[in-house]
Chains A and B, each alone.
Chain A
């Protein structure tokens, strides 16, 4: 039942993935992964580059997610090869070209968390830790959540999550889930630490930035949420910080929650506690530096 860092024994993980019994642990989750040969070959450089220290194991164990990255059918394994990332339950999926197996993996894990995890209140948001408080960077379409999270990380913040704020309803704390930051198109060039690039994806060009060593070292440590920010990047905008009332903050957050509707009273209580204990700020800015400065300003 022992785990080892992913980069330590790739051939062992390969055998496990082909059997469908590779387990990967990150933050509060354990995902089981199964692959076919070509998909594994396309996926492994991504995992090696971005998650070298992720705890892996090849013995079958109960997991939170059951992921499969494989060709949609046997023909598509070799003939104009394609790949799908299955989240462990029925979900209509558009097959991707086989070279995008890493994307299929990332999307499958995201789908499995967003659509089948109920033991946390989940918000669609990036999360960083500045000092001892967590800052939730809520997603607003095109707002620039991931870019801001990456910039904050370069400025010394600890990345806790790029995609989901996993809030424990009992304690109100956020659990880290430090997956690689996915950056799109123009944002990629801003960060030298971006490791893997994928062109011509359904979302344009994608680049992934690995979580820092510090992020990974605190992945088991939940953090107290101190601030909520909603980034609004726009070329030519001047820096502006607009405080948002708690009740409006609640509505904004629940609109971006994939599971609030299913949590009943526990979800409501957790959300109310969040918006009354952590003030929300809408941040408008025209440059990433301004965005970082605004976040530091509201964290004072």
Chain B
């Protein structure tokens, strides 16, 4: 059993914190690396003392700051788009907080993701620029700007010039060039207004499917524990009707494979009972499970994920020149860093 799987079981309330101090340290360090420390402590804080309490307090103050930042930025978004009639849909962490999901307490968030209709994209960008958001330093070159605008599913990231909050504006859920095609319009149509707010979130079932897509099929599964905990949590808050409907909905919007992958992973992790869901065994689920284990399997799985991420994102005729360019930039940076350190 890897420590990561223990951390997930504790988070899911299916296992209690170990008592052996060496195991406690392993679990806490593992959760800290996965940015899950505050989540881990959120439901066991009353039982802590000594150094564990110090560490728990530290983690929860940091997570509260994230939640405050999210609430503040969500309120700013409402002001920016007030009266424009544009539907601003919060995605991922911002959505979990806005939907007041219990598991969002303690969840670390670094940036805001929103989804808008492609027709509104330029107007949304203009409004955000007018409200103080500027292009992020990481994506200012002409190449990066064109790359995002021509091929990606989002605008080049924007950052607020004073608050330094990063916002990613999506108009689709997968890159334009992706091998996976999702019916984004159907998900937008099913989105729901937030409680008491003028913003929207995806329907609960779509939140789960989007997390499955984003977590297992649109990046290298670099935060395996957090992704798995998100998936488990989003699955757990679904109504019985939604759970029964999940594969039907998934098929309707083009995410059937992703739904099977995510549920297969949750079953492998022991977080969901395989008898309770008709999830097929899935290669992505097996890979993701291997990635969470320790040892050589995890290293290999990580390699496969990295290659697969790029394979899924764009066809070879775009991918090869893109990677060649990135490799060139990386080499140039290395050479420059080498020169500087010898001066």
Contact = CB atoms under 8 A, between A and B. Distances in A.
A299 interface: no
Contact of A62 (B28, B61, B341): B28
Nearest to B23: A60
A61 B25 contact: yes
B325 interface: no
A242 B68 CA distance: 38
A28 B62 CA distance: 18
**Most chain B CB inside 10 Å of its own CB: which residue of A28, A60, A61, A62:** A62
Interface in A88-127: 88, 94-95, 116-119
B61 A119 contact: yes
Contacts of B51: 30, 61-64
Nearest to B163: A261
Given A30-B51, A262-B65, A66 B58 contact: no
A116 B54 CA distance: 13
B121 interface: no
Given A66-B29, A264-B64, A264-B65, A60 B58 contact: no
A116 B58 CA distance: 8
A145 to B, nearest CB: 26
A262 B54 contact: no
A250 interface: no
A1 B21 CA distance: 10
Contact of A64 (B26, B54, B61, B64): B54
A30 B51 CA distance: 8
Contacts of B29: 66
Contacts of A64: 51, 54-55, 58
A88 B35 CA distance: 12
A263 interface: yes
A95 B342 CA distance: 11
Contacts of B26: 60
Contact of B58 (A88, A95, A118, A264): A118
Q: How large, as a class, is the contact surface on chain A? A: 20 to 34
A152 B108 CA distance: 42
Contacts of A95: 341
A73 interface: no
Contact of B341 (A94, A263, A264): A94
A59 interface: yes
Contacts of B240: none
A64 B28 CA distance: 11
Nearest to A117: B58
Interface string A241-266: 00000000000000000000111101
Contact of B24 (A30, A62, A88, A116): A62
A30 B52 CA distance: 11
Contacts of A60: 21-22, 25-26
Contacts of B55: 62-64
A263 B65 contact: yes
A209 B68 CA distance: 41
Given A59-B22, A62-B21, A264-B68, 15 more contacts: A28-B54, A60-B26, A61-B21, A62-B24, A62-B55, A64-B54, A66-B29, A88-B32, A119-B54, A119-B58, A119-B61, A261-B65, A262-B62, A263-B61, A264-B65
9 smallest CB-CB distances across A and B, nearest first, come from A262-B65, A118-B61, A119-B58, A60-B25, A62-B51, A119-B57, A60-B22, A118-B62, A118-B58
Interface of B: 21-22, 24-26, 28-29, 32, 51-52, 54-55, 57-58, 61-62, 64-65, 68, 341
Interface of A: 1, 28, 30, 59-64, 66, 88, 94-95, 116-119, 261-264, 266
16 contacts: A28-B54, A60-B22, A60-B26, A61-B51, A62-B24, A62-B55, A63-B55, A64-B58, A117-B58, A118-B62, A119-B57, A261-B65, A262-B62, A263-B61, A264-B65, A266-B61
